[in-house]
Amino acid sequence: MRSRQRMFAAVMRLLLKCLRLGRRRRFRLVRQVEQLWFYGRLCLRSLLYNSFTNGDVVLDSLFEPVYWLVDHITRWFGVVFVALVIGLTSSIVAIVYICLLPLILQTYTPAWICWHLAYGHWNLIMIVFHYYMAITTSPGHPPQAKNDLTGISICRKCIAPKPARTHHCSICNRCVLKMDHHCPWLNNCVGHYNHRYFFSFCLFMTMGCIYCSISGWEMFRDAYAAIERMKLLEKERQQVAANQTYYQTPPPTFSFRQRAFHKSVVYLWVLCSSVALALGALTLWHAALITRGETSIERHINRKERQRLQKKGKVFRNPYSYGSWDNWKVFLGVDVPRHWLTRVLLPSPHLPHGTGLSWDLPPCVTEQRAPLLAI
């Protein structure tokens, strides 16, 4: 009996000893895995550590493939967008000349005829001129030689000197002087030498669309009512054809020319109204930027700088702003009063102030402002 008890006790001691060894080995394995995990994470952090890394940098890195895809699509579809602008504008002009102009000449008074002919053709000339200049004029690029420029930064992408207000365009794959943005509707960057052409095109195109929408409102209402009447008569004609008897006559039908006329008027009014709303908002946005003396890219930079200096109790001052009125004169190239007529109200290929490499005080500015970022 005692021998059995001793044997049972020995077996139990051996079993407890095995359990203790297994638990120690298990704890040792867990500790090794934890050490390997902390060591791997430390190595990864040491390899990828960057003091400038934040949420914006990580987000930009994640969206880099999307940016690459958008840049290449915009680059290849720029020609399609330009053709679309030319095609839609040409269709509106054709409708005005073929459908509306004969009606204006027959029904309007001589004074209104002279007004429509003068304003319409002037607006059309301004649209065509500024759009052609915007797509054919180079926005300006900095020289590649480092000896030509001093006191500037280096572009991280093209490894070339980058003057003030110059930014790299990932679509054109070049640095652009005073870059505002890359416009797919121009298939070109908007920069120092063609910024005025771009804004003038947006302004005169918006004015032309508003002019067509207001002038064609009554014609649009009549044309829309006529189209609804066409649909109703077409439905009645089909019912008469289905239940035709000898004493019933089908309702009159509209000719192809009448249908084309009414549908063209509706197409003109809807397209012009839509473009006037969309392009008008864009024009107002750029007008506000010009008033503040900054570009679309500089707006984001200046906003961050303003917030950073505000926390330190300082005031941000844009060194390229000379006041609202002087900013417009610098942008439009108005040096003397007659330039408002020859350079703003008439087509003018004059160059902007400066070369885009340095930003000296333009001669049209009335008073000089201290070029300080913070005071």
Tokens of 140: 């300006």
Contact between 190 and 140 under an 8 Å Cβ cutoff? The reply is no
Tokens of 209: 């669309």
Catalytic residue (choose from 169, 183, 202, 212) = 183
Per the annotation, the verdict on 183 as an active-site residue is yes
Q: What is the CA radius of gyration of the chain?
A: 36
Residue carrying the six token digits 């992408």: 157
Contact between 155 and 102 under an 8 Å Cβ cutoff? The reply is no
Tokens of 368: 């000089």
The dihedral built from the CA positions of residue 149, 300, 352 and 189, taken in this order, carries a sign that is: positive
What is the rounded (10 degree) CA torsion for 315, 320, 324, 328? -170
Which residues does 191 contact at the CB level (< 8 Å), separation at least 6? Answer: 139, 140, 176, 177, 178, 179, 180, 356
Residues assigned a catalytic role = 183
